[in-house]
Amino acid sequence: MTISVSPKDLKNFAIDCAREYARSEKPPSLKKSEEYKTIDQVTKLLSVSRVTLWQWEKKGILLPARLGKFKRYRLSDIERLLTVRAEADSTKMKGLNNGK
């Protein structure tokens, strides 16, 4: 059994796939009910550097929303991260206290 695909067929298939994807993807928009913070605000809130924010973005730890060329961080994501950090610190302290 042989299947033949011409370059024109392949091109049409690629165009159809791209159109379908474009129709299914809705551009991300900033939720009006959500509060957003700038990079400078986040570095102060979390006491971290811009480099740390960049590394966290690459690792998927704290992802910004993008508005054109600007990055904004959701306050709910920042609060979640603070909660996780506080729980980790609490667990760490319990481990130290049990070691006495």
Q: Is residue 61 part of a domain?
A: yes
- Can you give the residue range of the structural domain that contains 42? 34-100
Q: CATH number of the domain that 90 lies in?
A: 1.10.1660.10
The answer to the question of residue 49 being in a domain is yes
How many separate domains does the chain show?
1
Q: Is residue 16 part of a domain?
A: no
36 Cβ contact list (under 8 Å, min separation 6):
30, 65, 72, 73, 74, 75
Q: Please indicate, yes or no, whether the overall pTM of this predicted structure exceeds 0.75.
A: no
pLDDT in tens, 38-80: 999 999 999 999 999 999 999 999 999 988 889 999 999 999 9
| Domain presence at residue 12 | no
**Is residue 35 predicted with pLDDT exceeding 80?**
yes
> Average pLDDT, whole number, for the chain?
82
* 99, part of any domain: yes
